[in-house]
Amino acid sequence: MNQQNQDERTFIREAMDRLLAGKATTSNGSLTAAALAAEAGVHRMALYKRHADLKNEFEERVGKETRQIPETEKRLRDTVTKLKRTIANQKTEIEELRQLVTNLTLASAVLTDEKSTSTSPVPVADNVIPLRPPTT
């Protein structure tokens, strides 16, 4: 590991301690990876790519030391809640549509039965071939 990476790691660890102590100097003080990168003075992608282990360590420490849920987990929980609500709504809608199909099928059967039992023949146009010959 080169000297620059070693310096970055030192800066990140020091920034971790400052953020967890609530003594942020250059960031907004939130307990996120973006704030950690800003506090350490390193690019956010460097934290995500080269120092992913330190980012994960920070998120674990946030959970253990502050009893706070990390922002990413909060967003995931919100998404899961919204998806569960959507699934419940879709299940209700599917059940309503099934009921509607049943009712329409019954109505169609009644109308077909009424049509076939009617005594007056239905006039047929000259260019139409009936599927059933008309009953008289």
Q: What is the pLDDT of residues 68-124, one digit of tens each?
A: 777 778 889 999 999 999 999 999 999 999 999 999 999 999 888 877 776 666 665
Q: Give pLDDT, residue 24.
A: 87
- Indicate whether 1 pLDDT > 80: no
Instruction: Enter the pTM of the model.
Output: 0.51
Helix (H), strand (E), coil (C) string for the chain = CCHHHHHHHHHHHHHHHHHHHCCCCCCCCCCCHHHHHHHHCCCHHHHHHCCHHHHHHHHHHHHHHHCCCCHHHHHHHHHHHHHHHHHHHHHHHHHHHHHHHHHHHHHHHHHHHHHHHCCCCCCCCCCCCCCCCCCC
Q: What is the pLDDT of residues 27-79, one digit of tens each?
A: 888 888 899 999 999 999 989 999 999 999 998 888 888 777 777 788 899 99
